[in-house]
Amino acid sequence: MTRGFDRYFAVGVTALAMLVPLTLTGIALLIFIDAWPSLTHFGLSYFTTTVWDPVHFIFGAAAYLYGTIVTTLVAVVIATPIALGASIYLTEFAPRRIRGPVSYVIELLAYIPSIVYGLWAIFVMVPIMRANIEPALQGSLGRLPLVGQLFSGTPVGLDLLSGGVVLAIMILPILTAISREVLLAVPPTQREAMIGLGATRWEAVSRAVLPYARPGIIGGVVLGVARAFGETMAVTMVVGNSSRDITGSLFVPGYTMASAIANQFVEADSELYFSAIVEVALMLLFVALVVNTIARYLIRRSIADRPAGAVV
Amino acid sequence: MATQAATLAGAIPARHRIIARRRIAERVIVGLLALATLASIAILVTILSYVIIQGIPAINLEFFTQRPKPFGEVGGGVQPALVGTLVLAAVAGAIAIPVGIAAAIFVVEYRSGRFATPVRFAAELIAGLPSIVVGVFVWAFLVRGLIGHFAALAGAVALAVIMVPIVARTVEEVLKLVPNSLREAALALGAPRWKVILRIVVPTARAGIITASVLALARAAGETAPLLLTALGNDFFSTDLLRPIGALPLQIYRYAISPYDDWHTKAWGTSLVLVLVIGIVALLLRVVARERVR
Amino acid sequence: MSITMRDTKTTERSADQAATQPAAEATAKGTAVRVEHLDAWYGTHHAISGVTLDFPAGTVTAVIGPSGCGKSTLVRCLNRMHEVTPGARARGGVFIGDVDVYSPYADPVEVRSMVGMVFQKPNPFPMMSVYDNVIAGPRLRGWKMKRREADDLVERNLRRAALWDEVKDKLHRSGGALSGGQQQRLCIARALATDPSVLLMDEPCSALDPIATYKIEELLRELSSEVTIVIVTHNMQQASRVSEHTAFMLAGDDSVGRLVEFGRTDGVFTNPKDKRTEAYITGRFG
């Protein structure tokens, strides 16, 4: 009766496989349903007010949104040049023998659990930020008009800037890995054409290879943004989790959406309170879905035409 | 028409100056690029160094065999957390690995168009979810719902949800590498579909499947956020799936945010253990993978 | 200006002597590129050895031979593209005008801007417009031009490449949006824009259809009066159609490529001096 068993097998495999879309649907549904009371009760004001008052039942997640956006922006601004620089060096200029090993080492960073990053950040990085880096920034960039506002106030260490820096360190490996893939997928004939015209190696890279790779690299950055958005533990430990004021400075403590959930989830004592927190999760869910889809689309298009056998 | 009569002896000075400038610019830029690479490596080295140097003082036999002492008391260890991590990993793996492999088999072997894409698409989306969101879901579904309280099982399910996309994606790649001629030969010999898959395709891809599983487990072992909302943590030795359970990452978090220096040291020590476990596993993987390839 | 045919009536010469005919074959315009005892390697593989020949100015010279004979290698040594491949190196004399291309003082970047190159597979820059593609070379060299001058340069070179009429309304479309034949002519225009004295073409038509090939062969005729052209081709009919001189290369039993014969195209094809040339031309191998 192997024919019959074939049927059972197929059904079994299908059933197990279907758990995946089922789970995704379950996640979206449950979170949406639990967030519904808050959604309907606060509507749009939820996104615009920073008041978060469990006693008076007023909840606004603007501060969390703001903190997430600021820390993510800081992370991207810091990590992208470094990741791009390293990936360009490792695909175009580094001595061939070290390319593989060094890339591997950098990608090892991705295997360190986020809690360990958080630990290092809170005990090692934050004191240095508070005592050295932030005052230095205040003394230098803090004097410039407009930009200076970012570095105003007393440096506290446990602030948005530290959150951003730790995020930058965490998205570095994935940005580097994707940029490398994308750069390797650029047809060598592009570089060759530039060199044939009389370009130096760097000029060939900057004028022919990088523009060609741009969509994929942007995809990598978007993926990095997605990672930064959802990162919880490392950021929770250094971002402060105390102030909900939106000032223009990076030297103030704040929240990110993920850290807000981590901190307050078990403390929610009323249905509205709980629902308000779940609405934060709903926001995270929605943004993660959208951003990830865009990122993967951009990257897939770039890597699809990689010439077979392209080696570092 | 400018001629190309640029002899080196009588080179038009302007042209040489331009090229020299371009050369210098190139050198400067490549230097910066190398610096960026160095910075990336330096970060890794710095973090690992701190973990090792700060963590070693905490490591002793007691660390591995005792449970945490109450607030303020010196001594104690992370045994419950260690056991917890192992239990969670085992249960999560038992759930996620079969489901992940099944999903990969479904997508690759039963390419029945309509359903294959939703499965892969859903896996990718779940992979992109923040782990805390997964924690919220499992909390609502199990902790509040089916089980009624914080429990190890809930933690394991949360970890499984995170692991499935990783397993599925990697196994899919590996299954695709199995040459079609193998499948066709088996089918031509009269083997039924399920035998072709289970007895021929999967064994051929065995090394990759092991790699995928181990990678996913390593990732799960390091997760903290979802466990905060599901397994909760436990300072006592427990293997009961229906009670809260500890885990190494949770222990690190608890120790780290405490006000006691001794506990801070223990946090480093636990981190060292965690990183070592993941590191050894990853290294073993590479060795095993290389052996198989031969 | 006319080259006498008396050489073809002399008795058999050795292959080496045939290769040192330059003085007799040079046109009145002189020699564009002089090659002396050129050797090239890819890692440990010795690709070409002892190549000596003069490419006459203002004409089209074809380099033919079976696969692996080193014709592409030879041509890529002329603008120091050969060494771009990891592990590749060359040794010998290549002189473009008075410039010693392989002198230790020579900068490959400078050499490559004196010589234009068109590759086998058309490779316009897809992220740049047609206009920007053409002007990419001058931009590299930091030529400062007013808008007007730049426009003129683009038009002039697109005309030289017989592409102007087809793209004059599409100058700002992507370089990749053209057909294969148009892309290759764009690459020709791009290579010409830096005003090189020599244009190297490495099997430029092998990826194109016959009509596109025809169009390019036509424009070579016009072009050769201004620019010396060296074209590598595996298609003998093409060589006899477009070139005035032909160099035949062959790899010996040691897999090292050598120059076997060089002379006026009609001579090489109707009355080859070397038995090996004759064998190749009559299709006995390759």
Query: Dihedral of CA A198/A204/A206/A210: which sign?
Result: positive
B284–C contact, CB cutoff 8 A: no
Partner residue facing B222 (CB), from A21, A24, A113: A113
CA distance linking residue B94 with residue B72, whole number of Å: 38
For the stretch C215-226, pLDDT in tens is 999 999 889 889
CA distance B250 to chain C (A): 49
B24 vs C: CB within 8 A:
no
Rg, Å, chain B Cα set: 27
Beta pairing partners, C31: C56
Q: Distance (Å, rounded) from C-alpha A161 to C-alpha A123?
A: 16
**Distance from C-alpha of B97 to C-alpha of B160, rounded to nearest angstrom:** 8
Query: What span, in angstroms and rounded, lies between the C-alpha atoms of A230 and B273?
Result: 26
Query: Does C196 reach chain B within 8 Å, measured CB to CB?
Result: yes
Alpha-carbon Rg for chain A in angstroms: 23
Q: Does B142 touch chain A (CB under 8 A)?
A: no
Disruptive mutation site among B19, B133, B227 for chain A (greatest number of A CBs within 10 Å) = B133
- Among positive and negative, which fits the CA dihedral B131, B134, B136, B138? negative
| Element housing A277 (H / E) | helix A271-303
With a cut of 90, say whether residue B157 has pLDDT above it. yes
Over B112-170, what HEC string results? CCCCHHHHHHHHHHHHCCCHHHHHHHHHHHHHHHHCCCCCHHHHHHHHHHHHHHHHHHH
Q: CA gyration radius for chain C?
A: 19
Residues on chain B touching A194 (C-beta within 8 angstroms): none
Q: A189–C194: do the CB atoms touch at under 8 Å?
A: no
Average pLDDT on A192-198 reads 94
In one-letter notation, the amino acid at residue C5 is M
For chain C, list the strands marked E by DSSP: 31-42, 45-56, 60-64, 88-96, 99-100, 115-118, 198-202, 228-232, 245-251, 257-264
Judged by CB atoms closer than 8 Å, whether chains meet at C141 and A196 is answered as: no
Virtual torsion, Cα A242, A248, A251, A254, nearest 10 deg: 20
Q: Which two tokens stand for residue A222?
A: 């978007």
Confidence (pLDDT) at B10: 38
The pTM assigned to this predicted structure is 0.85
Alpha-carbon distance A274 to A35, whole Å? 8
B124–A116 C-beta distance less than 8 A: no
Residue type, A212: Y
> Is residue C1's pLDDT more than 60?
no
Distance from CA of B14 to the nearest CA of C (A): 11
Report residue A62's pLDDT band, with 50, 70 and 90 as the boundaries.
confident
Q: Which of A221, A222, A248 lies closest to A142 in space, CA to CA?
A: A248
Of A187, A197, A212, the CB nearest to C112: A197
The residues pairing with C116 across neighbouring beta strands, listed in sequence order, are: C199
Cα distances from C176 to residues A185, A201, C172, C179, in angstroms, run: 17, 23, 11, 8
Q: Which residue has the tokens 């035949």?
A: C248
Chains linked to A by 3 or more Cβ pairs within 8 Å:
B, C
Helix (H) or strand (E) holding A59: strand A58-59
d(CA B273, CA B115): 42
| pLDDT value for A14 | 87
User: Which positions ≥6 away from A265 have C-beta within 8 Å?
Assistant: A277, B136, B139, B228, B229
| Contacts with A237 from chain B: Cβ below 8 Å | 253, 256-257
Give C140-167 pLDDT, tens digit per residue. 888 778 889 999 999 999 999 999 999 9
Cβ distance B286 to B214 under 8 Å? no
Structure tokens at B4: 């190309």
- Token pair of C140, please? 């590299």
The model's confidence at residue B62, banded by pLDDT at 50, 70 and 90, is confident
Rounded Cα–Cα distance for residues B5 and B8 (Å): 9
Which of B50, B118, B271 faces A21 most closely, judged by CB atoms? B118
**Cα separation of C55 and C246, whole Å?**
10
User: Looking at chain B, which subunits does it touch, using at least 3 CB pairs closer than 8 Å as the criterion?
Assistant: A, C
**DSSP-derived pairing of the beta strands C228-232 and C198-202:** parallel
Return the structure tokens found at A16: 């197990």
Which A residues 38-97 touch B at CB under 8 Å?
81-86, 88-90, 93-94
Q: Where does the pLDDT of residue A39 fall: very low under 50, low under 70, confident under 90, or very high at 90 and above?
A: confident
Q: Decide if A207 and C137 are in contact by the 8 Å CB cutoff.
A: no
Please give the average per-residue pLDDT across A81-101, as a whole number: 94
Name the β-bridge partners of C245.
Answer: C61, C264
Mean pLDDT of the C170-177 span: 89
- Is the pLDDT assigned to residue A120 strictly greater than 90? yes
Task: Look at residue C10 in the predicted model and tell me its pLDDT.
Answer: 39
Is residue A83 predicted with pLDDT exceeding 90?
yes
DSSP conformational letter for A239? S
d(CA C96, CA C35): 9
What average pLDDT does range B190-211 have in this prediction?
Answer: 84
Closest CA to C191 of C177, C206, C180, C202: C202
Residues from chain A that touch B224, judged by Cβ atoms under 8 A, are 113-115, 232-233
Nearest to A195 among C81, C121, C187 (CB): C81
CA distances to A122, B63, B259, B279, C282 from B268, rounded to whole Å, are 12, 12, 14, 16, 80
Q: Which residue has the tokens 């490419």?
A: C55
Q: Coil, strand, or helix at residue C171?
A: coil
Q: What is the pLDDT of residues B238-291, one digit of tens each?
A: 888 888 888 999 999 988 988 888 889 889 999 999 998 888 877 777 777 666
